Amino acid sequence: MGLGIGLVGLPNVGKSTTFNALTKAQNAESANYPFCTIEPNKAVVPVPDKRLDELAKIVNPERLQHSTLDFVDIAGLVKGASKGEGLGNKFLSNIRETEVILEIVRCFEDENITHTEGSIDPIRDIEIIEQELLLADMDSLQKRIDSLKKKAKGNDRDAKAQLEIAEELMEFIADGNPVSSFEKIDEDSFKAMNKDLRLLTSKEIMYGANVDEDGLAEDNEYVKAVKEYAAERNREVIKLCAKVEEEMVDFDEEEKAEMLGSLGVEESGLDQIIRKGFDKLGLMSYFTAGVKEVRAWTIRKGTTAPKAAAVIHNDFEKGFIRAEVISYEDYIACGGEQKAKEAGKNRLEGKEYIVQDGDVMHFRFNV
């Protein structure tokens, strides 16, 4: 679907190690899951979903196909990135492609790993990152204001409406506030203005607290500070140890569970990043289940049955008649499609049906 999560961070905080672990882990599963590296700093990775495994136990398909997410390793973030310092231009162009930003910050001491700011302070690092995002937004917005002023002189009504929003927004973010907290007076004008600007601080933000092994079981002072900072802004925090994640890339599920258990955690940091990122993007999965393939299809929450069918093929939407639906819970409880039908758990749904997360579906269509 082209929806991405961008990993952002200062040098030597574990950002690239986390990204490398993501790509290596999924590449190791290439026999079962689709994987491709689009560019050196981009990857498509499968979304972990145990429901697929449970469906496969019943159906015994030839292959499994997971939903996927795009991840982008954003390069060159240093102070002044918004003004072109480091790889500033590449940083800006890459991050605009994403819908969610994951800010990786270092939350452990290690004298062998230098920090560009000379000390460990994740809140300071977050503020550096977000200041650069704000400065970049202000620069983009000023250019748009200058353009809108010219159009507004020609009595362009849309330009006048957008200009009013843009000037109010500029004043708002100049005080250090992110676009995401701006109360939009005119939602349509704001969307029209932001459609191609894709202002960085309008995006969903999560924090990745990178700890050492000792910091996994119990929060250290740095993680506590990040969680407090995030809670004030209603943002997610994912605690992970990038080093451990990279070590586990070749482990099978049993070995991974044993390793995590020995460290006092239940779910890997990478799985949390993918799962929570998927949710932040407003996405969910429905399933198709056959002997050839059990597959998760990615759709936005609130999608109707015909639009969900179009994800498989456009003809499915054009000739949509109805959808046969079994909830995941009923499918598993009954032991498969046929027994679910015998138990009366199979439903026929029409064009207005809103697909639910986990629905097992079969579409009837005629083109």
CATH number of 302-365: 3.10.20.30
For CATH 3.10.20.30, list the domain ranges present in the chain: 302-365
Binding residues: 12-17
Residue whose structure tokens are 């986990």:
358
Ranges in the chain annotated CATH 3.40.50.300: 4-48+66-118+203-280
Contacting residues for 125 by C-beta, under 8 A, at least 6 apart: 9, 10, 13, 103, 105, 106, 117
Fold of 135-201: DNA polymerase; domain 1 (1.10.150)
12 pLDDT higher than 60:
yes
CATH 3.40.50.300 assigned to domain 4-48+66-118+203-280? The reply is yes
- Give every CB contact of residue 171 below 8 A, 6+ residues apart in sequence: none
Q: What is the pLDDT of residues 156-166, one digit of tens each?
A: 788 888 888 88
Closest CA to 345 of 319, 326, 359: 326
| Least confident among 113-127, 136-150, 229-243, 280-294 | 113-127
What 3-state class would DSSP assign to 71?
strand
Q: Per residue in 47-95, pLDDT tens?
A: 889 999 999 999 999 999 998 888 888 765 656 555 655 444 556 677 7
Interval 198-233: pLDDT, tens: 888 999 999 999 999 989 989 999 999 999 999 999
Residues of the chain with CATH 1.10.150.300: 135-201
Beta bridge partners of residue 283, listed in sequence order: 300
Residue numbers in the known binding site for ATP are: 12-17
Report how far residue 351's alpha carbon sits from residue 305's, in angstroms, rounded to the nearest whole number. 6
